[in-house]
Amino acid sequence: MVVLSKPAMEQYGLVKNNSCKTNTFFPGIPLIDLSKPDAKHLLVKACQEFGFFKVINHGIPTEFISRLESEAVKFFSLPLSEKEKAGPANPFGYGNKKIGPNGDVGWVEYILLDPQFNFQKFETVFGVTPEKIQAAVHDYVASVKKMACDILEKLAEGLNIQPKNVFSKLLMHEQSDSVFRVNHYPPYPDLHGRNLIGFGEHTDPQIISVLRSNNTSGLQIALKDGSWLPVPPDQNSFFVNVGDSMQVLTNGRFKSVRHRVLANSLKSRVSMIYFGGPPLSQKIAPLPSLLMNGEEDSLYREFTWFEYKMSAYKSRLADNRLGLFEKV
Ligand code: GA4
């Protein structure tokens, strides 16, 4: 049995593994078939109720997924001293346990890439050819971004707002500030009915996040009553969540979901997340058409994505970042 020293337990955080909701009446995470004509209405419903859903018939080639996963597994299998040549993550590069600049830690190692997917830091890493992983990231992200834009257009249609690219154009912009992350959660034995925190609870600051993982559990989302709902893994589907900026653009109709990842006691978890963000200069404020042309008050004061990002990087992971921008 692995015994964690007290400081380590305090450092990573533990949660009782029966602290989650196992509500038999809960209908489950919304599942949306993107090829069906009713997808737009179901997407809107899922964003309003949970800020989270799973998609099938997404059109992402299996080959792009498996190629990137195998390159990532190869990278994470390298000796730590090699991986560290691509670090530290400040914020981009290889990171190990430290998340963000303000003292958050988790049982996770990761690669965080900037919007240009700059691989400079990875050039000296022995064992993995950066060109191969770079090409794998490029193909995968291009395809996932297309799917994210398709979802955003369906959401605009479902909300009855025009033009239909009102959200997707923010990701399509050539200066879109999107980032990409690959996480590896090594297994960590069950600690007397408790689980180690892999990635602590948080909301994503961007517009939309698209996640895909291998078949290892760990992801949980927070429900309205504050309980945690484990998300069963599915390596063939994608999980999508609403980010803080989308909550603002929709004046709170869509919910930016709190989520976290617990380390699995038996298997490694590998996940890849595309965070779709707007250009830095983009004003983030509720869309006028969603304010009923002035009849509904904005819940937030206007800010630019640059301001929000600066403020996010001053915060701790679990903070309520939007709180600072709510109108009183
Ligand atoms: C959460 C969502 C993305 O993973 C991320 C994270 C970022 C980081 O890991 O550098 C942050 C976190 C995330 C929000 C608050 C700040 C910034 C760590 C942190 C404590 C890449 C992002 O954009 O914001």
Ligand 1 atom with minimal separation from the 203 CA:
1
Q: Which of 113, 179, 319 to mutate to test the pocket of ligand 1 (most atoms within 8 A of CB)?
A: 179
The CA-CA-CA angle for residues 200, 201, 203, to 5°, reads: 125
Distance CA 207, CA 124 (A): 33
**Amino acid 1: pLDDT:** 44
Please give the pLDDT value at position 169.
98
Is the ipTM higher than 0.95? The answer is yes
Nearest-angstrom CA–CA distance, 200 and 263: 11
pLDDT of residue 183: 98
Q: Which residue of the set 181, 269, 316, 321 is catalytic?
A: 269
pTM of the full structure: 0.94
pLDDT at 25: 61
- Please report, as a single letter, which amino acid is at residue 316: R
| 270 within 8 A of 76, measured Cβ to Cβ | yes
pLDDT beneath 70, residues of the chain? 1-11, 17-26, 126
HSE of 305, CA atoms in CB hemisphere, 13 A: 22
Distance CA 192, CA 16 (A): 9
Q: Give the pLDDT of residue 5.
A: 55
Strands 31-33 and 52-56: parallel
Q: Does ligand 1 lie within 6 Å of residue 179's CB atom? A: yes
Please give the structure tokens belonging to residue 54: 């799973």
315 touches ligand 1 (CB under 6 Å): yes
Q: Which residue out of 117, 181, 260 has the highest number of ligand 1 atoms within 8 Å of its CB and is therefore the one to mutate?
A: 181
Q: Is the CB of residue 129 below 6 angstroms from any atom belonging to ligand 1?
A: no
243 CB within 6 A, ligand 1: no
> Residue 199: its pLDDT value, please?
98
| Closest to 196 in 3D by CA, of 15, 19, 6, 3 | 15
205 lines ligand 1 (CB under 6 A): yes
Q: What pLDDT does 127 receive?
A: 74
Q: What per-residue string of b and e applies to 237-268 under the rule 16 or more CB within 10 Å gives b?
A: bbbbbbbbbbbbbbbbebbbbbbbbbbbeebe
Residue 9: what pLDDT?
Answer: 57
Concerning whether 67 is annotated as a catalytic residue, the answer is: no
Q: Tell me the CA–centroid distance for residue 100 and ligand 1, in Å.
A: 6
